[in-house]
Amino acid sequence: MVTIKDIAVKLGIAVSTVSKGLNGASDISEELRQMIIDTAIEMGYRSKKMKKEEHKKLCIFIENMEYDDSDQFGYEIILGFKKSALRDNWEVSLLPASSELQSQEKYDTYLLKHGFSGAFLLGFSLEDEWMHHLKKTKMPTVLLDNQISRNSNVCYIGTDNQEGIELAIEHLYKLGHRRIAFLNGSPNSMVTDQRHQAYLDSMAHHKLEVTRDLFAFGYYVSDCAKYHVPDFLAAGATAILCGSDLIAQGVIKECRARGFRVPEDISVVGCDDIPLAQKLDPPLTTIRQDREALGMCAYISLISLNKNVSVSKTLLRPKLIKRDSTAKCTPYQVTDELLQEARKLHKGKILGRGLE
């Protein structure tokens, strides 16, 4: 059991100074206060206040993810988490984790200072500063769609991307599609990598050829479709699998702009099944992520970590939701016009073309 005295001895300062640092007194320097708190945390110190609150407060940190209304990806995840947590009498705070906040305060320090027993992180990317802190965090932490190796305080939660992509490719294969393109999400993310590998494996499984003009890495916005659809059409793709429903929305628009009908000429498959998917014209076939269940399981995993059960990974099943954006394959003639547009695209900026 670490005491204030232990911290004082370690830092070579007076017990009263440590006490001031931990209680936020204003007559010591901010640097010293920070050092005291960091040391206290490293040594595993918990104040009475922290202990008392330890079983009461959890935090959801969100970054680069929309969650305000029910149409947005994060909404139901947060709902699922909160529902489960509140049932067990936890108080849940939802906080945006701006890069300012992340650079101002260490992850563990922030949680301990505010009396949180653990946190669920959504939308973080490898560039986020706190992602580095997670390698050594002592706080129970559940991370959506990202994995931290070797730290038993952090659990990865997500949907089984491999199975999702397999289901989509199999569905398209059964409809007769052989030239299947994949407009993936942002590069440099674990999910994107997993899905890319699953696409390659699944195509190989069905003995379908993957040429370089059949896949690309975009961003999670509709607009990215315009940089890639010309390539796919010039490559004779009859089906386009997309890294999100928003990307699929853009893909449908770009296909139409070039005179291709969906699904009569081109089949399109999304990922996620956000509420938008069924409202699209045509309603979108997509790989569903059960977002409320993700939130619920994130809570369960966090509580397990809190009880020293080192859950490393919790994956949920994806589900293929068949709607009207996919249909039997009708191959088409690749016209000179399509080829020229694709060539022109390559001559210009390679905006958003991602990994080459």
Q: How far apart are CA 161 and CA 136, in angstroms?
A: 27
Q: Which of 63, 145, 272, 290 binds its own copies (CB under 8 A)?
A: 290
Q: Per the omega criterion (within 30 degrees of 0), is the bond before 96 cis? A: no
Question: Nearer to its own copies by C-beta: 300 or 338?
Answer: 300
Provide the minimum distance between the beta carbon of 297 and its own copies in the complex, in angstroms, as a whole number.
Answer: 6
CA distance linking residue 132 with residue 189, whole number of Å: 15
167 binds its own copies (CB under 8 A): yes
> What's the min distance (Å) between Cβ of 149 and its own copies?
6
Binding to its own copies by residue 293, rule CB under 8 A? yes
| Residue 243 near residue 271, CB atoms below 8 Å | yes
Is residue 242 near its own copies by the rule CB under 8 A? no
What is the per-residue binding string for its own copies in 90-129, x denoting contact by CB under 8 A?
----------------------------------------
Task: Name the nearest CA neighbour of 254 among 218, 286, 285.
Answer: 218
**In the chain, how long is the greatest CA-to-CA distance?**
82
Based on the shown chain and the rule CB under 8 A, indicate whether residue 87 belongs to the binding site for its own copies. no
Token readout for 337 is: 């016009």
Question: Judged by CB under 8 A, does residue 149 bind its own copies?
Answer: yes
Number of neighbours of residue 268 by Cβ within 10 angstroms: 27
CB-nearer residue toward its own copies: 111 or 296: 296
Cross-strand bridge partners of residue 225: none
Q: Which stretch binds its own copies (CB under 8 A): 96-104, 124-132, 160-168, 251-259?
A: 160-168
> Does 319 engage in binding with its own copies (CB under 8 A)?
yes
Contact flag: residue 148 with its own copies (CB under 8 A): no
Looking at beta carbons only, is 253 or 319 nearer to its own copies? 319
300 or 327: CB nearest its own copies: 300
Part of the chain binding its own copies (CB under 8 A), chosen from 115-123, 190-198, 249-257, 289-297: 289-297
Per-position DSSP letters for 55-77, written without gaps between them:
TTEEEEEE-S---SSTTSHHHHH
Tokens for 129, please give them: 């500063």
Q: Which residues pair with 320 in a beta bridge?
A: 287
Q: Does residue 160 bind its own copies (CB under 8 A)? A: yes
Query: What is the Cα–Cα distance from 302 to 55, expressed in whole angstroms?
Result: 12
Query: In the complex, what is the shortest distance from the CB of residue 74 to its own copies, in angstroms, rounded to a whole number?
Result: 18
Pairwise CA distance, residues 306 & 227, whole Å: 45
Smaller CB separation from its own copies, 266 or 296? 296
Residue 89 interacting with its own copies (CB under 8 A): no
DSSP string, 247-267: HHHHHHHHHHHTT--TTTT-E
Q: With contacts defined by CB under 8 A, how many residues of the chain interact with its own copies?
A: 23
Using CB under 8 A as the binding rule, whether residue 309 contacts its own copies is answered as yes
Nearest to 130 by CA among 97, 154, 156, 155: 97
* CA–CA gap between residue 85 and residue 107 (Å, rounded): 21
Q: Does 311 bind its own copies (CB under 8 A)?
A: yes
Sorted by sequence, the CB contacts under 8 Å of residue 173 that are 6+ apart come out as 180, 206, 208
Query: Is 163 one of the binding residues for its own copies (CB under 8 A)?
Result: yes
Nearer to its own copies, 63 or 163 (CB): 163
Nearest-approach distance from CB 314 to its own copies, in angstroms = 5
Q: By CB under 8 A, is residue 317 in contact with its own copies?
A: yes
| DSSP β-bridge partners for residue 217 | 184
Q: Which of 48, 87, 150, 347 binds its own copies (CB under 8 A)?
A: 150
Q: Is the distance from CB of 295 to CB of 80 less than 8 angstroms?
A: yes
Interface positions with its own copies (CB under 8 A): 149-150, 152, 160, 163, 166-167, 290, 293, 296-297, 300, 304, 309-317, 319
